[in-house]
Amino acid sequence: MDKWKDIKERLNHLHGSVELLADGHTLSMIKVHDGKKIFVRVYVDGCVDFKWTKTEDGKPVHAQGRFWRPLKRAAYPKKAYPSLKRIYGKKEADRMVAPRVIGVVPDFGTEGAAVSHLKRHFPDLEIKADGVAS
């Protein structure tokens, strides 16, 4: 079975988990809920430290932040574009409503999104031998 499908399978139900090895770090992915929504949280080496959320020029400052989801936001909403264009001009208005990475967060909306991120950035990761689905 493909390792990516295996990871998705293990995260398919609530509180499903899987442990992975990537770039010398142990990743623990657990499907959790906060009462309103269900998401996949990624723990790096067993913890989540929110100082890892910082970015510079769209890249995480700390190495552990590479495993998390980039959070993109625009300075202004798209509905403000016409007035921004009149005030600042087209080029500056385009820059102001374009989303850019402002940080990284340890939560992914679905297991597919988490697997897609890891597949794109860490194609050589391994499933930890003792990581069993809960």
Instruction: Report yes or no on 28 lying in a domain.
Output: yes
pLDDT tens for each residue of 19-32: 999 988 999 999 99
| 3-state class percentages of the chain: helix first, strand second, coil last, to nearest 5 | 35, 30, 35
Encode pLDDT of 60-99 as tens digits.
Answer: 999 899 999 999 999 999 999 999 999 999 999 999 999 9
In contact, 21 and 126? CB cutoff 8 Å: yes
**What mean pLDDT, rounded, does the chain reach?**
90
At residue 70, the pLDDT reads: 93
Could you tell me if residue 69 is inside a domain? no
The pair of three-digit structure tokens given for residue 80, joined into one six-digit string: 């403000």
Looking at the predicted structure, is the pLDDT value of residue 132 above 50? no
Question: Pseudo-torsion of CA 35, 130, 112, 134, nearest 10°?
Answer: -40
Which of 60, 64, 26 has the alpha carbon at shortest distance from 45?
26
Number of domains in the chain: 1
pLDDT of residue 57: 87
Q: What is the pLDDT of residues 42-64, one digit of tens each?
A: 999 999 998 999 999 888 999 89
